[in-house]
């Protein structure tokens, strides 16, 4: 198992999806998009590699939610063959990188430094990271956006990961359930469509998923009923928008993305409720 760690927004989930060749983890420009550890499975002729995506380290460690996310990542690190430390050379190294370094201190597994976003025009902080190269078994430039460097990364990992029985059957690309993947795709759209506000206090529940048989004028569709829970009424109003405009937008973008990822027609019904326990 190879665990991907790094500051929030470094591009861990983008990299995971590119490695697997399918969206198994959601991606947004907002911090701490990933909330759970998610396995992405790569089936290579020389063996299976399981990559673990983790919540990124974020500087406002004071809130309970951020603490919980950091703890989840630390737990994932305890049980790992190789650490993939993904860094973002487009951003100045800062307190978030210091938190990652702190979490890695006690980990004795081999580690690879992945210098990300190699497609970006300017990577002014790449030199800083090259200066740290001696603390790692290998250093690679990678891009989740273009796929550059990924074949080399997989080759390196196959050398470092101990051989064993494959954990997953050849048809699996992730350990998440279908309902979890559906909920995540809706949460991704909540993050993407909800202006600048960071929608931490959002939860998505899947209430029903059923195949709706074809009718005379409609093909077969997957009917999904879901609820987005907002932390308070103000945020609920924001998610609904004027005359329901925002929820309509979230629903339509989610529906299209679900169709793309699931490869079938989708009918989506979406409610927005308040859950006061979301802090």
Ligand X SMILES: Nc1nc2c(ncn2[C@@H]2O[C@H](COP(=O)(O)OP(=O)(O)OP(=O)(O)O)[C@@H](O)[C@H]2O)c(=O)[nH]1
Nearer to ligand X, 10 or 239 (CB): 10
Q: Contact with ligand X (CB under 6 A): which of 2, 3, 5, 11? A: 11
Is the Cβ of residue 12 or residue 123 nearer to Mg ion in the bound state?
12
Stretch that binds Mg ion, among 11-19, 176-184, 216-224, 264-272 (CB under 5 A): 11-19
Total number of residues binding ligand X (CB under 6 A)?
A: 24
**Site for Mg ion contains 48 (CB under 5 A):** no
Say if residues 58 and 32 touch (Cβ distance below 8 Å): yes
How is residue 22 written in tokens? Answer: 């399918």
Which tokens sit at 216? Answer: 């005379």
Query: Which of residues 3, 11, 13, 150 is near Mg ion by CB under 5 A?
Result: 13
For residue 149, the partner it binds in Mg ion, ligand X, none, with Cβ less than 5 to 8 A by kind, is none
User: 272 phi and psi, to 5 degrees?
Assistant: -120, 120
Whether 210 contacts 218, CB under 8 Å: no
DSSP codes joined into one string, 178-197:
HHHHHHHHHHHHHHHHS-SS
State how far the Cα of 147 lies from the Cα of 28, in Å rounded to an integer: 18
Q: Which does 9 bind (CB under 5 to 8 A by kind): ligand X, Mg ion, none?
A: ligand X
Q: Burial, 96: exposed, middle or buried (Cβ in 10 Å; 0-12, 13-18, 19+)?
A: buried
14 binds ligand X (CB under 6 A): yes
Interface with ligand X by CB under 6 A: which residues? 6, 8-14, 27-29, 31-34, 55-56, 116-117, 119-120, 143-145
């Amino acid at each position: 198992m190879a665990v991907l760690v790094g500051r929030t927004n470094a591009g861990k989930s983008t990299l995971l999806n590119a490695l697997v060749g399918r969206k198994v983890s959601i991606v947004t420009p907002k911090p701490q998009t990933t909330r759970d550890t998610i396995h992405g499975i790569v089936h290579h002729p020389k063996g299976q590699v399981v990559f673990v995506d983790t919540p990124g380290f974020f500087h406002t460690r004071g809130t309970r939610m951020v603490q919980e996310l950091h703890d989840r990542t630390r737990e994932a690190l305890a049980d790992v063959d190789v650490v993939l430390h993904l860094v973002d050379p487009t951003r100045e190294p800062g307190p978030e990188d210091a938190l990652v370094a702190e979490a890695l201190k006690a980990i004795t597994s081999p580690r690879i430094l992945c210098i990300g976003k190699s497609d970006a025009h300017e990577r002014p902080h790449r030199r800083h990271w090259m200066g740290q190269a001696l603390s790692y078994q290998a250093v690679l430039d990678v891009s989740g956006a273009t796929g550059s460097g990924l074949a080399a990364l997989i080759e390196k990992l196959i050398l470092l990961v101990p051989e064993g029985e494959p954990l997953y059957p050849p048809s699996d690309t992730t350990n998440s359930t279908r309902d979890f993947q559906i909920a995540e795709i809706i949460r991704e759209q909540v993050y993407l469509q909800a202006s600048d506000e960071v929608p931490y206090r959002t939860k998505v529940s899947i209430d029903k998923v059923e195949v709706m048989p074809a009718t005379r004028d409609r093909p077969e569709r997957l009917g999904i009923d879901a609820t987005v829970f907002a932390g308070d009424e103000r945020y609920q109003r924001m998610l609904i928008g004027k005359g329901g405009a925002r929820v309509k937008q979230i629903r339509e973008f989610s529906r299209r993305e679900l169709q793309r990822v699931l490869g079938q027609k989708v009918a989506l019904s979406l409610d927005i409720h308040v859950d006061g326990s979301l802090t």
